[in-house]
Amino acid sequence: MHIPTLFRTALAAVLACLLGASSAYATNQPDAAGAQTMLSAVQRDMVAALQDPAAHGDQTAIEKLVNRLLVPHVDLDRASILVLGDHWRNATPEQRARFVDEFRSFLVRFYSGALASYVKSNAVPADVIRFDRPPALQSETQALVHSVVRQDDGKTVPVEYRLYWSDGWRVIDVSVGGISIARNYRSQFASRVAQVGMDGLIAELAQRNGEQAAR
């Protein structure tokens, strides 16, 4: 389950933007401007939080932040549908529930590690993420928010957030440099399901999560 190195740097900055999401930034109706306003506001909050030396390189502390502040603002069910595709429709309710649980743990540990590594070796500038064009509604319930992430070398990477509206905006996918994270995982998971089945994929995720937790 490999993620290109580019993802790690950009996603760490993306995560810094999302970590501080709270109901204070919720909007009352599904407008694209509201989605961007939420992302922009939490970016400012998190830049301040990540400048606290206590958070630098401490994956355990950051993992707690991810669970408490980020996970409620990611639509894990819809993200799971995106990454599993037809395999979600063919899965039993029990398999779906187990997959969502293990996928959640997998994402939390992966991105916590990426963010811990990033803030350990980098200052977090206020303009690490810049929203470079107007957001757009893709449908009555989906919005696309465009941004660019500035890397250490001064180069920028385009990052797009795909959000779904259900009593508030929640992230269901992020594209980094034109590569969708959901599609990337879908390819990897589909290959594993073809080889070991849905139960086998879930077992592999559970094993990996257990190994990460034991470190």
Residue 65 pLDDT exceeds 60: yes
Q: Which residues pair with 159 in a beta bridge?
A: 147, 176
Give 42's pLDDT tier (boundaries 50, 70, 90).
Answer: low
Check: CB of residue 117 under 8 Å from CB of residue 57: yes
Domains of the chain: 5-214 (3.10.450.710)
Phi, psi of 132 (to 5 degrees): -100, -5
3-class secondary structure, 144: strand
Q: Provide the whole-model pTM.
A: 0.79
What pLDDT does residue 32 have? 87
What pLDDT does residue 20 have? 42
**In this predicted model, what pLDDT tens digit does every residue of 122-142 receive, in sequence order?**
666 667 778 888 999 999 899
Residue predicted with more confidence, 88 or 156 = 88
**In this predicted model, what pLDDT tens digit does every residue of 10-39 receive, in sequence order?**
555 555 555 444 444 455 667 888 888 877
Q: How far apart are CA 166 and CA 142, in angstroms?
A: 10
Tracing tokens 């990052």 back to the chain, one arrives at 159
Q: pLDDT over 90 for what percent of the chain?
A: 39
The helix (H) or strand (E) run that includes residue 133 is: none
